[in-house]
Amino acid sequence: MSTGNHAQRQVGRGPRHGPRHGPGHDHGACVTQALEMAREVCAREGARLTPLREQVLTIVWQSHRPSGAYDVLDKLAATHKSARPPTVYRALDFLLSLGLIHKIESLNAYLGCAQVGPAHDGVFLICRACGDAQELAGLPVETTLSKVVTDTGFKPEHRTIELTGLCAQCAP
Ligand SMILES: [Zn+2]
Ligand SMILES: [Zn+2]
Ligand SMILES: [Zn+2]
């Protein structure tokens, strides 16, 4: 018999820089890593990460809480007085198309992707108390769902799996 260990499923890589809350969390490192990743992806795809797009990405990455387009616009307006909603939506669409951010449908808000890589829709855990959203990738539920849906002949164009509740820090 083999020593096969089937526990190879990858349950979100989790925080890479300590806890996501509190003084132990080095969020600056999250942002730096996200920007590096974005430059890499853009270079590979031949896409242009203009200063404006980069700034929108940085704004989305200001925290692990999803930001609405108008929050992004407010912050962008501090340096780009001429920024208008279409400016922001175009930049967000660009970032979405490269998988650098995700749209959290239930909140109509955007979240930086911490697991940039092969196209994925992710599974999101959204805390209703602090607003923190965590992305899990590579869960078996994604493959199971795809398989079942394929069997129905339905052609999905978009998939959103969002769980709302209390995060470990906010749960009593
Ligand atoms: Zn962080
Ligand atoms: Zn992602
Ligand atoms: Zn919370």
**CATH code for position 77:** 1.10.10.10
Residue 144 located in a structural domain: yes
Asked if 83 and 73 touch (Cβ cutoff 8 Å), the reply is yes
pTM score of the predicted model: 0.82
Measured from the alpha carbon of residue 161, the closest ligand is: 2
pLDDT at position 110: 97
In a domain, 156, yes or no: yes
| Rounded average pLDDT per 10-residue block, the chain, 172 residues | 40 46 84 96 96 97 96 94 95 96 95 84 92 89 87 87 94 88
Distances (CA, A) of 147 to 105, 129, 135: 23, 34, 21
Residues spanned by the domain of 70: 27-165
Q: From CA 36, how far away is CA 95, in angstroms rounded?
A: 14
13, part of any domain: no
Question: How far does residue 166's CA lie from ligand 3's centre (Å)?
Answer: 5
Residue 108 domain flag: yes
Counting ligands in written order, which one lies closest to the CA of residue 170?
A: 3
137 domain-assigned = yes
Q: How many domains does the chain have?
A: 1
pLDDT of res. 119: 76
| DSSP, residue by residue, 11-54 | -----SSS-SSSTT--HHHHHHHHHHHHHHHHHHHT----HHHH
- Give domain status of residue 170, yes or no: no
Residue 88 CA to ligand 3 centre (angstroms): 27
CB atoms within 5 A of ion ligand 2 belong to 113, 115, 122
Backbone angles phi, psi at 55, to 5 degrees: -70, -40
Q: Is residue 172 part of a domain?
A: no
Distance (angstroms) between ligand 3 centre and the Cα of 57 equals 23
Cα 121 to Cα 72, 83, 103, 106, 126, distances in angstroms: 22, 29, 9, 14, 15
Residue 31's pLDDT is what?
96
Structure confidence at residue 137 (pLDDT) = 81
Query: Is there a domain that residue 80 lies in?
Result: yes
Residue 115, pLDDT score: 82
